[in-house]
């Protein structure tokens, strides 16, 4: 297997990181996860655009031009002969230098690798449970930063309670999931938190909003409360790996009779028809 680095394609085994590395010591970097369906990237340009927005927001240089990066990522799937469903992980960090908080004068580190990843078909069909958790993150969650402690703590709590995701809320307002965006349907209206600074602007989120309009749903990028969430007709979360995942229970309260709702199913089918 090969990985893509700032120096081009190299064998996975030869990727070595020094112990004084900004990503390791400070979480000083940004990342992306990109879906691959049958060997082809999904929403590639959207992810690359977001990567550059995240990097710019923390004054970090991506060691590629946008189109150069897209070409190199294509070479990576070609070289690894990827034909199946998979995902790409990539990260950019502020480089390797003796540990000091302020920026070092060294080049950024970059790597991208591909991992086999099946679609969660059974979960998509039956739906999953969620818990609620306090959103204790910082104000700039639109940056896809490597600092994920609050996210992994919330996800671990969800897992220990037999749930798939933790739905985060700040002062009673639902923001997003620990690694997903959150949607609810009430009547003919699909609600999700606006693409403000305090949530990640999900690539699947954006695609679902477009699909929903075309499917005749009214779309409201309007924040909603925990109470409104618990009284929704349907709830789902979205992410690159989870696609449109129905939520059938929140904190032990059953949603839409414990089965994925009809409108969620319509959106799932539309998404599947357009992906890969």
Which residues in this chain contact ligand PDD in the complex, by CB under 6 A?
A: 33, 151, 176, 179-181, 200, 202-205, 238-241
Contact (CB, 8 A) for 244 and 181: no
Q: What is the largest CA-CA distance in the chain?
A: 57
Q: Closest approach of Cβ 240 to ligand PDD, in Å?
A: 3
Which residue number is nearest to ligand PDD in terms of Cβ?
Answer: 202
- Whether 46 contacts 203, CB under 8 Å: yes
Residue 252 neighbours by CB under 8 Å, 6+ apart: none
Instruction: Retrieve residue 44's tokens.
Output: 């590639």
Q: Minimum distance between the CB of residue 183 and ligand PDD, rounded to whole angstroms?
A: 11
CB 41, min distance to ligand PDD, A: 13
Please identify, using beta-carbon distances, which residue of 151 and 256 lies nearer to ligand PDD: 151
| Nearest CB to ligand PDD, comparing residues 6 and 241 | 241
Q: What angle do CA 234, 152, 52 make, to 5 degrees?
A: 85
Judged by beta carbon, residue 7 or residue 118, the one nearer ligand PDD is 118
For the CB of residue 2, give the shortest distance to ligand PDD in the complex, in Å.
22
> Whose Cβ is closer to ligand PDD: residue 108's or residue 179's?
179
Catalytic residue among 66, 75, 87, 144: 144
CB 116 within 8 A of CB 84: yes
Closest CA to 191 of 127, 235, 146, 245: 235
Q: Is 207 a catalytic residue?
A: no
Active site residues: 144
């Amino acid at each position: 297997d090969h990985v893509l680095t700032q120096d081009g394609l190299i064998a996975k085994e030869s990727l070595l990181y020094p112990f004084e590395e900004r990503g390791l010591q400070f979480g000083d970097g940004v990342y992306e996860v990109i879906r691959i369906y049958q060997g082809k990237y999904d929403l590639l340009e959207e992810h690359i655009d977001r990567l550059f927005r995240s990097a710019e927001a923390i004054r970090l240089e991506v060691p590629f031009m946008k189109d150069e990066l897209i070409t190199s990522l294509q070479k990576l799937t070609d070289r690894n002969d990827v034909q199946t469903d998979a995902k790409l992980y990539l990260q950019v960090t502020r480089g390797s230098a003796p540990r000091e908080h302020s920026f070092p004068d060294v080049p950024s580190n970059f790597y991208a690798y591909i991992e086999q990843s099946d679609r969660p078909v059974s979960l998509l069909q039956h739906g999953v449970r969620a818990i609620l958790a306090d959103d204790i993150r910082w104000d700039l969650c639109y940056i896809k930063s490597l600092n994920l402690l609050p996210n992994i703590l919330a996800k671990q709590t969800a897992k220990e309670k037999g749930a798939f995701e933790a739905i985060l809320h700040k002062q009673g307002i639902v923001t997003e999931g620990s690694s997903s965006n959150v949607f609810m349907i009430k009547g003919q209206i699909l609600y999700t938190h606006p693409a403000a600074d305090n949530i990640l602007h999900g690539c699947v989120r954006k695609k679902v909003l477009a699909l929903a309009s075309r499917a005749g749903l009214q779309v409201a990028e309007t924040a909603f409360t925990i109470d409104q969430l618990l009284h929704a007709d349907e709830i789902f979360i979205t992410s690159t790996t989870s696609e449109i995942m129905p939520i059938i229970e929140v904190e032990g309260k059953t949603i839409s009779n414990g089965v994925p709702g009809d409108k969620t199913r319509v959106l799932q089918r539309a998404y599947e028809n357009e992906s890969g």
